[in-house]
């Protein structure tokens, strides 16, 4: 159940409504060049990207798992779409987006979103650092001569770089916008700092007639309402075989980026949960977008940071952003197209500064070497490959490191009881990684006729552990010796009993009622 308790900043007062709407306007202005750029990356018309930003943003704003998040067309998805569009055309893209959405809805209904909790903190740090670098590199395309830049999701593409006075003017305007955003909160919070930066820089450029790149130099954003459109593709198995691989990849990338953004926004706003709901929202948004001529999308960390830092805390800001974007397309295209790109680049550069986890640099020398390696690895892979690959690689490396560290923890203390039995007090988890080390703990030849293995400080985890216990028992049996297992935790005991290996002997271990005599169960080692 969602938390229905409202924080003070979430109570709908006139002041809160103003903040939410202005935050939405700021986000909408930042969405325009991003949506156009990612449409170019995917090889589709700019309106296809803008429609996706509007529809995905609106649906997720209404039913998403975390108020404050912004969704739209993203570069992570666009770089996957480009080959599909190039080989099969835009209609196959629309069909793929619909299937992608269906898969995401299934993931949400199955509550698979909860698995995002398996992403370790070092992977999260690498994710935000890599994404901050990607956002920074994506802005470099705006420093090219208008009309010649080849927009790229991971940095600058082809075209001629600005030089001379044009470059210096662009840099000055970017720096000025960043300075306004930094200073504005110290003066007043009536207007969100990013919106003030965009407005003041645009006013200066227009008032003095400065010749600098503007939004309209990327493409015209004027258009109508997104039309309902059923993808024109053959309803055949061959079509399904073409779009399914792309749909699976896009669904996975979209959910990973959305859920990681959900966690990041949750840390900033103090909210938790909503992962599965976000999966359903993203899926529903993409299904709708595919039927209205959009390229699909997912959560956008950059725009989400702009929204949160501008004061957006409720669904109103995200809904306002989507509606403002639609109004730009329908009514205000000429006005939006004169906004200097330098103002929007300045906003995104401030997002980069705010997104990058600067403390991760300081802690690299203090955290375990494996964690430091994972942070750097995920950052590099995010920049040079893509987010989904980076997160999967980071989780795998972290899991392997965890398994290796736990595998080395297995050891045993030994002593001999007054009755002459040797006791092994096993310490550390017993699982596939430590099974071999567990076997090496025992000295079958030198041990007395009765051996007790005490698991009070250990835990039997998996089938490999069961096999290791059985192999150990068989060695003692072959040597004509008797073995008992004690102090198994209740869940471990259930695991062993379910496997049919062991049985309870409550008299041996009255406190736990879980002591086990392997010989009594098998009948091959003799009774008590």
Q: What is the average per-residue pLDDT within 395-410?
A: 89
Query: pLDDT of 62-72, one tens digit each?
Result: 999 888 899 99
Band (pLDDT 50/70/90 cuts) for residue 9 is low
Asked if 450 and 418 touch (Cβ cutoff 8 Å), the reply is no
The fold adopted by the segment(s) 408-522 is Transcription Regulator spoIIAA (3.30.750)
Q: What does pLDDT average to over the chain? A: 85
Q: What is the pLDDT of residue 492?
A: 64
Across 78-92, 186-200, 454-468, least confident range = 454-468
CA dist., res. 390 & res. 394, Å (int): 6
Asked if 69 and 265 touch (Cβ cutoff 8 Å), the reply is yes
Measure Cα distances from 390 to 152, 262, 374, 383, 398 in Å: 19, 18, 10, 9, 12
Q: What is the pLDDT of residue 8?
A: 56
Q: What is the pLDDT of residue 494?
A: 64
Band (pLDDT 50/70/90 cuts) for residue 508 is very low
Q: Where exactly are the structural domains of the chain?
A: 14-150+216-340, 363-401, 408-522
Band (pLDDT 50/70/90 cuts) for residue 154 is very low
Q: What is the pLDDT of residue 511?
A: 44
pTM, to two decimals: 0.77
Q: Which residue has the higher pLDDT, 306 or 514?
A: 306
Query: pLDDT of 101-152, one tens digit each?
Result: 999 999 999 998 888 888 898 998 998 899 889 889 888 888 887 554 444 3
Q: What is the average per-residue pLDDT within 359-368?
A: 90
% pLDDT > 70, the chain: 88
Under DSSP, the state recorded for 197 is: H
CA dist., res. 212 & res. 345, Å (int): 13
Band (pLDDT 50/70/90 cuts) for residue 500 is low
Most confident of 215-219, 245-249, 494-498: 245-249
Q: Which residue has the higher pLDDT, 486 or 520?
A: 486
Measure Cα distances from 375 to 126, 254, 484 in Å: 4, 21, 45
Is 179 a residue whose pLDDT tops 50? Answer: yes
Query: pLDDT of 425-471, one tens digit each?
Result: 999 889 899 999 999 999 999 999 999 998 888 888 888 888 888 88
Query: pLDDT of 350-359, one tens digit each?
Result: 989 988 989 9
Is 380 a residue whose pLDDT tops 80? Answer: yes
Q: Which residue has the higher pLDDT, 507 or 57?
A: 57
Q: What is the pLDDT of residue 223?
A: 93
Query: pLDDT of 243-253, one tens digit each?
Result: 999 999 999 98
Asked if 468 and 448 touch (Cβ cutoff 8 Å), the reply is no
């Amino acid at each position: 159940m969602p938390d229905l308790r409202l924080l003070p900043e979430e109570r709908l007062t006139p002041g809160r409504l103003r903040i939410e709407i202005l935050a939405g306007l700021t986000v909408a202005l930042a969405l325009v060049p991003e949506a156009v750029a990612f449409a170019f990356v995917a090889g589709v018309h700019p309106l296809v990207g803008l429609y996706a930003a509007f529809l995905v943003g609106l649906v997720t704003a209404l039913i998403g798992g975390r108020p404050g998040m912004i969704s739209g067309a993203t570069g992570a998805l666009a770089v996957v779409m480009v080959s599909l569009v190039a080989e099969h055309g835009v209609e196959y893209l629309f069909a793929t987006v619909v299937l992608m959405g269906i898969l995401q809805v299934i993931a949400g209904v199955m509550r698979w979103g909860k698995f995002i909790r398996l992403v370790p903190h070092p992977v999260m740090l690498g994710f935000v650092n890599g994404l901050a670098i990607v956002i920074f590199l994506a802005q470099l395309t705006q420093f090219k001569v208008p009309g010649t830049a080849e927009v790229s999701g991971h940095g600058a593409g082809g075209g001629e770089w600005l030089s001379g006075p044009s470059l210096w003017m662009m840099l000055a305007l970017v720096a000025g916008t960043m300075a306004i955003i930094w200073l504005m909160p110290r003066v007043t919070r009536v207007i969100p700092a990013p919106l003030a930066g965009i407005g003041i820089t645009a006013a200066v450029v227009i008032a003095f007639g400065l010749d600098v790149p503007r939004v309209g130099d990327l493409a015209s954003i004027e258009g109508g309402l997104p039309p309902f459109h059923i993808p024109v593709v053959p309803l055949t198995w061959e079509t399904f075989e073409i779009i399914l691989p792309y749909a699976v990849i896009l669904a996975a990338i979209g959910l990973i980026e959305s859920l990681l953004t959900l966690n990041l926004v949750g840390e900033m706003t103090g909210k938790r949960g909503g992962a599965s709901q976000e999966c359903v929202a993203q899926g529903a948004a993409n299904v709708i977008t595919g039927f209205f001529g959009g390229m699909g999308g997912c959560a956008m960390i950059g725009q989400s940071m702009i929204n949160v830092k501008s004061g957006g805390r409720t669904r109103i800001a995200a809904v306002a952003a989507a509606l403002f974007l639609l109004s730009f397309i329908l009514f205000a295209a000429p006005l939006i197209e004169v906004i200097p790109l330098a103002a929007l680049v300045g906003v995104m550069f401030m997002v980069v500064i705010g997104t990058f986890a600067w403390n991760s640099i300081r802690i690299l020398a203090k955290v375990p070497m494996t964690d430091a390696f994972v942070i750097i690895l995920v950052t590099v892979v995010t920049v040079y490959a893509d987010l989904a690959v980076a997160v999967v690689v980071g989780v795998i490396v972290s899991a392997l490191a965890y398994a290796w560290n736990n595998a080395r923890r297995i050891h045993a203390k030994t002593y001999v009881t007054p009755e002459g039995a040797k006791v092994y007090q096993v310490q550390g988890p017993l699982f596939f990684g430590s099974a071999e080390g567990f076997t090496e703990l025992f000295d079958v030849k030198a041990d007395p006729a009765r051996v007790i293995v005490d698991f009070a400080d250990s835990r039997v985890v998996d089938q490999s552990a069961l096999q290791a216990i059985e192999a150990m028992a068989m060695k003692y049996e072959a040597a004509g010796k008797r073995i008992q297992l004690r102090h198994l935790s209740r869940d471990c005991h259930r695991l062993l009993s379910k496997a049919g290996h062991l049985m309870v002997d409550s008299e041996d271990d009255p406190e736990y009622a879980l002591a086990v005599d392997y010989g009594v169960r098998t009948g091959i080692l003799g009774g008590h």
